[in-house]
Homo-oligomer: A and B are copies of this chain.
Amino acid sequence: MKTKAADVETPIPGSPWINVKDPASPALDAIGDKEGFHPLEIEDCRHRNQIAKISEHEDYFFIVIKTIHFDRAGCAIAFDDFDLFVKPPAVVTVQEKEDSSLVEKAVARMRKEHAQRPWRIVHALIDVAVDDYLPVLDSIGESIDELESDVLERPTPRTLQRALDLKRILIEFRRNATAMREVVNHLLRDAPRDRLVYMRDVYDHLVRVIDFIETYRDLVSGSLDIYLSSIANRTNDIVKVLTIYGTVALPLIVITGFYGMNLELPLQHSPHGLALVVALMAGSTAGIMWYFRRRGWL
């Protein structure tokens, strides 16, 4: 298998940053061999679903960061891997998804700032990746707002489905954001004085993201409790209606049934018979109504 020209690019002409666009490319092995990167780590670049991590070697760092993709309509979240080998002055990055805009955005950001030292490149890439987390967080926040009002006003099994989806998304998000925070925390310890403030900024963002995720998890869990309470409340209301109707109607049915019997009944032929029956029926209804009112059910 030959290396195609398109597999490897130099995003910023003149800088020591090499980006491998296809992790399957043999060019990656060639670079790894030349720079002395560990074969297990080259292998890692070809497996998706890594967790964000950082390994410090004698003369280089291997960093895996995660980019976010959120599909709000389908209520699904995905994270892609983006790998960095940092061996100053060289920076080798491997993008695992072909159409990632991460490199492009990082280049744009750095052009503005005329700063292209190796750690600045690393920072720019992580910063861009983490910046994409924030709008996803907002979007999840809005979904939770909708969930909460649904749960109180019109709880249906679809609401449950939505709550479950949000819960999964938040669990997945937290897992990735926490690992990213550990990576940035590790980098903070190694950051030179002048870059410290940038890294700290990314770190602050990640702390805020995780903070919000925890808050959102609390809210989704709370929504399920409220869903259950809400349904219990409705069942209670419905049963109350049935009980009131039932308890009012049943004595009337017994009374009319009594006078419907084909037996010789008291007062059957007297004009007072009907009056008696009607009085009994009214009295029974009034008594039951009074009882319910006293218990606060009406």
Contacts and interface: CB of A to CB of B under 8 A. Distances in A.
Interface of A: 38, 40, 51, 53, 55, 57, 148, 152, 154-157, 160-161, 163-164, 167-168, 171-172, 175, 197-198, 200-201, 204, 207-208, 211, 215, 218-219, 222, 224-236, 238-243, 245-254, 256-266, 268-269, 271, 273-274, 277, 296-297
Contacts of A51: 204, 207-208, 211
Contact of A235 (B53, B175, B226, B235): B235
A259 B261 contact: yes
A53 B232 contact: no
A296 to B, nearest CB: 8
Interface SS majority for chain A: helix
6 contacts: A51-B211, A167-B218, A246-B246, A253-B253, A261-B277, A264-B274
Contacts of A157: 152, 230, 233
A258 B280 CA distance: 12
Given A160-B226, A167-B219, 16 more contacts: A53-B204, A55-B197, A155-B233, A160-B229, A175-B215, A224-B226, A225-B228, A232-B232, A238-B297, A242-B243, A242-B246, A249-B254, A250-B253, A259-B263, A260-B260, A263-B273
Contacts of A55: 197, 200
B228 A229 contact: yes
A245 B250 contact: yes
Contact of A260 (B238, B262, B268, B273): B262
A293 B207 CA distance: 49
A276 B266 CA distance: 14
Q: Give the interface centre of A240, A258, A277 by most chain B CB atoms within 10 Å.
A: A258
A264 B254 contact: no
A256 B218 CA distance: 56
A290 to B, nearest CB: 14
A53 B297 CA distance: 51
Best-surrounded residue of A148, A171, A239, A251 (most CB of chain B within 10 A)? A239
Contacts of A197: 38, 40, 55, 57
Most buried by B among A53, A163, A200, A222: A222
